[in-house]
Structure 1
Amino acid sequence: MHTDRARCVRAVQSKDARFDGWFFTAVVTTRIYCRPSCPAVPPKPENMTFYPSAAACQQAGFRACKRCRPDTSPGSPQWNQRADLVARAMRLIADGVVDREGVPGLAARLGYSSRQVERQLLAELGAGPLALARAQRAQTARLLIETTALPMAEIAFAAGFSSIRTFNDTVREVFALAPSELRARRPRTPAALTPGVLTLRLPFRAPLNPDNLFGHLAATAVPGVEEWRDGAYRRTLRLPYGHGIVGLTPRPDHIACRLTLSDLRDLPVAISRCRRMLDLDADPVAVDDHLRTDPVLAPLVDKAPGRRVPRTVDEAEFAVRAVLGQQVSTAAARTHAARLVLAHGEPVEDPEGGLTHLFPSPEALAGLDPETLAMPRTRRTTFTTLVTALAEESIHLGMESDWQETRERLLALPGFGPWTVDVIAMRALGDPDAFLPTDLGIRRAAKELGLPSTSAALTARAAAWRPWRAYAVQYLWATDSHPINFLPV
């Protein structure tokens, strides 16, 4: 996108928010970089230059605009719709892997050398993994400065900086303000100063239809791990340094996020996983415009545009729950999962609600007695084989996973058919083109809309929806009156 200069100039001059996060505008006369929708008077085209990432702007010596706060733009939709090296690297960097494991750890997860990863990121994003991680640390630092009363020394280390000096220098360089000056500019609201609680706004590209997104999460919520309370979806989070509890509430122009973390170093990871679960970095205009080209889908899109694909904060958890949900109702799947949580989950405290446990880890589930599972013997075998493979890491479900390779490995497990594999691909791996032609809800929708009824014929018909078939699934599901399609009241 950033290489198409004429298109970028038009987007900036029209203040088009759809392109926020796609590219960044750097103004050579002021040495400031902005998001395309910055409310300031657009600079002259000859003074604009364009970069694919905030990190590239910072590396080139530009500082963030104080009006539009470009570092808080929605993320680029590219990283959630691609499965190549750069996209997988960006998902891992957002998940804090560079801060925890360094560039060698990032490269090892991707199966490439550090030099190859560095070269690919520099070629496409104008910044290497260290610069990209540094930009994320700066954003985390600003969030903590503005939303907590923590001492600056604690913020520095919680944001991932190795020293207070590096923290001070980075904040000044990126935001042209000292940390104390940033804190002086924050709004003085009670929520911002509540000890142990972070209140954030998660931006997204409009439109966003919250009904299927939050309705699905609420309808399938596992008691003790998830709940719908006072208009918010709440759940526990298993994180690298500890655990957390998040409450997410849909608002007209953002998602209100209330986070409680046992270790503040987990803040960027928690935000990244919540954004991924709610599919907030999607480009709904591009998706909907493509699906509207099909006369069958067009009325569904026009009726409720901006549907997202509900995903997950924990890929292994979702895979286990997908197996529990095989050939049973939503209520039965929740019951099976709740029993596992009570027996094998880790207890947590939730003063603000009714959450009680973290979902059990694969390691905890690998040690259970299969005879305690109230399910058919064949499904017990499927369950135990999966959790053993996850615990031993012979199958790894993560942001860095190769979608096709993971599909093949899952299909090789006993009891894994196309529906289970594709629902994991759609909601755990994040493949935007995953399709569920054998799903009962999809088959009912197809019959009602006059689409082909057989799996093979429907798959052939759906080829025109590529690469957004997972979003087409959301629109087809919406033709049913299932409770997952509606926000709880």
Structure 2
Amino acid sequence: MLLSTREPFDGAAVLAFLAARAIAGVEEVRGETYRRTLALPHAGAILALTPRAGGVEAAFALDDARDEDEAVARSRALFGLDVDPAAVAAVLGADPDLGPLVARRPGLRVPGVVDGWEIAARAVLGQQVSVAAARKLAGRITATLGAPLARADGALTHRFPSPAAVAAAPDEAFPMPRSRIRALREVASAGLLLDTPASAPGLLDLWGIGPWTAGYVALRLGDPDVFLSGDVAVVRSLRELGLTTEDASRWRPFRSFAVLHLWANLTKDGAPARPDGGDAPALG
């Protein structure tokens, strides 16, 4: 089925973002298709999503047919398909400084998530390390703690570890500093229902979680107006444009999209760069 969206739509940029962060066993990008395992309300599933003109071609292998609507909703969220690009362009495209970036990448979307717990956990795993290192770490932990599929589907072999599995695991399961182990366990044990952007500030009550991480999670959960003022890549991109974080106020209510354009401004191919600031995750 085709999950439609309004043009312009830069699905290739979302695909590149996901590919750079794909966790072995859970995700893969095969050609132009993103594939991943997922636990849905009734049972497990494998999603296969291919960006096309006008949207994303989706194919689902569902263990329970009742999960089809949920699979569609999460796939739409992941690729930002419900965004109105005209509304974003009306604000950001009219800005004298950000406008040229928007004109260069008019269909840029904020990559979403398929699971709130997963994005919070990945954010903690990626704190203060490179994308490659964080990706490798997540893969090792998934191989140890993730539920294996009854039958592997190509490179897909596991589901992302559940909060219960992470909370109960010994320190030896996490090849990373004790401070990050503690922070990860805090998130796993908190029981937060991270299903909307409004739930992300609850992360700030947990040990080891700072404003960048909570903001980044809110951004990925779909808040269109998050500005990561402490993000090193954002600050660097602003500096190249002769701007400061104070200029961001004029980009409301679409500051999350401004962040994506500022990240893309730092890369040759226009794909979002690695976020990196304060308590920032490399993986996300």
The reply on whether 1:388 has 2:184 as its aligned counterpart is no
Q: Which residue of 2 aligns with 1:307?
A: 108
Separation in structure 1 between the aligned mates of residue 270 and residue 99 of structure 2, nearest angstrom: 21
**How is 1:88-487 mapped onto 2 (pairs within 5 angstroms)?**
200-348=1-149, 349-351=151-153, 353-389=154-190, 393=191, 395-399=192-196, 402-403=198-199, 406-407=200-201, 409-427=202-220, 429-452=221-244, 458=245, 460-481=246-267, 485=271
Change (3 A) 1:386 1:376: same
Separation in structure 2 between the aligned mates of residue 484 and residue 245 of structure 1, nearest angstrom: 29
- The answer to whether the 8 Å contact 2:116/2:193 transfers is no
Bigger relative contact order (CA 8 A; separation at least 6): 2
Deviations 1:417-450 (A, max 9, x none): 11111111111x3211111111122122112111
- The answer to whether the 8 Å contact 1:242/1:263 transfers is yes
Question: Which amino acid in structure 2 is aligned with residue 418 of structure 1?
Answer: P
Kindly state the Cα deviation for residue 371 of structure 1 after the two structures are TM-superposed: 3.9
Larger radius of gyration: 1
Separation in structure 1 between the aligned mates of residue 165 and residue 72 of structure 2, nearest angstrom: 26
Separation in structure 2 between the aligned mates of residue 295 and residue 218 of structure 1, nearest angstrom: 32
Change (3 A) 1:413 1:482: farther
- The answer to whether the 8 Å contact 1:320/1:383 transfers is yes
Separation in structure 2 between the aligned mates of residue 484 and residue 299 of structure 1, nearest angstrom: 13
Deviations 1:278-312 (A, max 9, x none): 11010011111110222110000011101111011
Question: Which amino acid in structure 1 is aligned with residue 237 of structure 2?
Answer: A
More helix by share: 1
Separation in structure 2 between the aligned mates of residue 431 and residue 217 of structure 1, nearest angstrom: 19
Deviations 1:364-399 (A, max 9, x none): 11100124322222222111111111xxx2x22114
Question: Which amino acid in structure 2 is aligned with residue 477 of structure 1?
Answer: W
Kindly state the Cα deviation for residue 482 of structure 1 after the two structures are TM-superposed: 7.3
TM-score by length of 1: 0.54
- The answer to whether the 8 Å contact 2:12/2:51 transfers is no
Separation in structure 1 between the aligned mates of residue 186 and residue 269 of structure 2, nearest angstrom: 32
SS of the counterpart of 1:309?
coil
- The answer to whether the 8 Å contact 2:25/2:156 transfers is yes
Question: Which amino acid in structure 2 is aligned with residue 435 of structure 1?
Answer: F
Deviations 1:84-104 (A, max 9, x none): xxxxxxxxxxxxxxxxxxxxx
Kindly state the Cα deviation for residue 213 of structure 1 after the two structures are TM-superposed: 1.1
Kindly state the Cα deviation for residue 483 of structure 1 after the two structures are TM-superposed: 7.4
Moved over 4 A (4+): none
SS of the counterpart of 1:485?
coil
Question: Which amino acid in structure 2 is aligned with residue 467 of structure 1?
Answer: P
SS of the counterpart of 1:433?
coil
Separation in structure 1 between the aligned mates of residue 264 and residue 198 of structure 2, nearest angstrom: 29
Aligned residues: 271
Kindly state the Cα deviation for residue 335 of structure 1 after the two structures are TM-superposed: 1.1
Separation in structure 2 between the aligned mates of residue 298 and residue 211 of structure 1, nearest angstrom: 21
TM-score by length of 2: 0.91
Q: How many percent identity over aligned positions?
A: 44
Change (3 A) 1:286 1:279: same
- The answer to whether the 8 Å contact 2:105/2:270 transfers is no
SS of the counterpart of 1:328?
coil
Kindly state the Cα deviation for residue 253 of structure 1 after the two structures are TM-superposed: 2.2
Kindly state the Cα deviation for residue 246 of structure 1 after the two structures are TM-superposed: 1.1
Separation in structure 2 between the aligned mates of residue 412 and residue 345 of structure 1, nearest angstrom: 26
Question: Which amino acid in structure 2 is aligned with residue 433 of structure 1?
Answer: D
Deviations 1:217-253 (A, max 9, x none): 1111111111110210111111011111111111112
- The answer to whether the 8 Å contact 2:144/2:173 transfers is no
Change (3 A) 1:231 1:480: same
- The answer to whether the 8 Å contact 2:50/2:58 transfers is yes
Q: CA RMSD in A?
A: 1.6
Gap runs ≥5 in structure 1: 1-199, 453-457
Separation in structure 1 between the aligned mates of residue 25 and residue 17 of structure 2, nearest angstrom: 17
- The answer to whether the 8 Å contact 1:219/1:483 transfers is no
